[in-house]
Amino acid sequence: MKALFPFVFLSALVLICEIGAAVEFTCHYGYRLDHGYPCQITKGLIESDNDLPASFVGAHQNGKSDDDLKLISFSGNRHLRLDYFPRGTFETFPQLIDFSLQNCQLSNLRNGDFKSAENLKNLNLDLNKLKQLNASTFTGADKLNWLSMSGNEIEKIDKDAFSGLSKLQMLILSQNKLHQLPQSVFVKLVDLQEILLNSNAFETLSTGLFERNAKMKRIWLQNNRLNVIEPQLFEGLTNLALVNLKDNACIDEEYRQRYRETENLQADLLAKCAPGKSGVV
Tens digit of each residue's pLDDT (9 = 90 or more) over 173-185: 999 999 999 999 9
**Alpha-carbon distance 209 to 212, whole Å?**
8
Domain that holds residue 37: 25-192
Q: Which residue, 227, 244, 230, is CA-closest to 279?
A: 227
pLDDT at 9: 38
The pLDDT, as a whole number, for residue 243 is 85
Residue 42 has pLDDT above 70, yes or no: yes
Q: Are 117 and 90 in contact (CB under 8 A)?
A: yes
Residue 47 resides in a domain: yes
Q: Is residue 113 part of a domain?
A: yes
Identify whether the C-beta of residue 96 lies closer than 8 Å to the C-beta of residue 89: yes
More confident residue, 7 or 220: 220
- 186-217: pLDDT as tens digits: 999 999 999 999 999 999 898 899 999 999 99
What pLDDT, on a 0 to 100 scale, did the predictor assign at position 14? 36
Scanning the chain, the segments in alpha helix (DSSP H) are 4-19, 89-92, 253-258, 267-272
Does position 35 have pLDDT exceeding 50, yes or no? yes
- The arrangement of strands across the sheet holding 122-124 comes to 28-29, 38-41, 71-75, 98-102, 122-124, 146-148, 170-172, 194-196, 218-220, 242-244
Q: Is 167 part of a structural domain of the chain?
A: yes
In a domain, 276, yes or no: no
Q: Is residue 174 part of a domain?
A: yes
DSSP three-state, residue 67: helix
Biggest alpha carbon–alpha carbon distance for the chain:
87
How many C-beta neighbours within 10 Å does residue 281 have?
A: 7
Task: Quote the pLDDT of residue 115.
Answer: 93
| Number of structural domains found in the chain | 1
Q: What average pLDDT does the structure give for the chain?
A: 84
Query: Residue 137 is part of a domain; what is its CATH number?
Result: 3.80.10.10
- Mean of the pLDDT values across residues 254-264? 48
From CA 203, how far away is CA 175, in angstroms rounded?
15
Q: H helices then E strands: how many in the chain?
A: 4, 16
Q: Is residue 136 part of a domain?
A: yes
Interval 118-170: pLDDT, tens:
999 999 999 999 999 999 999 999 999 999 999 999 999 999 999 999 999 99
Q: What is the model's pLDDT at position 247? A: 84
Q: How confident is the model at residue 241 (pLDDT cuts 50, 70, 90)?
A: confident
Confidence of residue 267 (pLDDT cuts 50, 70, 90): low
Cα separation, 278 vs 181, whole angstroms? 20
- 152 domain residue, yes or no: yes
Asked whether the predicted pLDDT for residue 281 surpasses 80, the reply is no
Decide: helix, strand or coil at residue 76: coil
Q: What pTM, to 2 d.p., does this model score?
A: 0.84
Say yes or no to pLDDT of 16 above 90.
no
Residue 215 falls inside a structural domain: no
Query: Helix/strand/coil (H, E, C) string of 210-239?
Result: CCCCCCCCEEECCCCCCCCCCHHHHCCCCC
Comparing 243 with 38, the larger pLDDT belongs to 38
pLDDT surpassing 60 at residue 258: no
CA separation for the pair 68, 277 (Å, rounded) = 57
- Residue 146 has a pLDDT of 98
Q: Tell me the C-alpha distance between 120 and 166, whole Å.
A: 13
| Range from 46-60, 153-167, 244-258 carrying the lowest mean pLDDT | 244-258
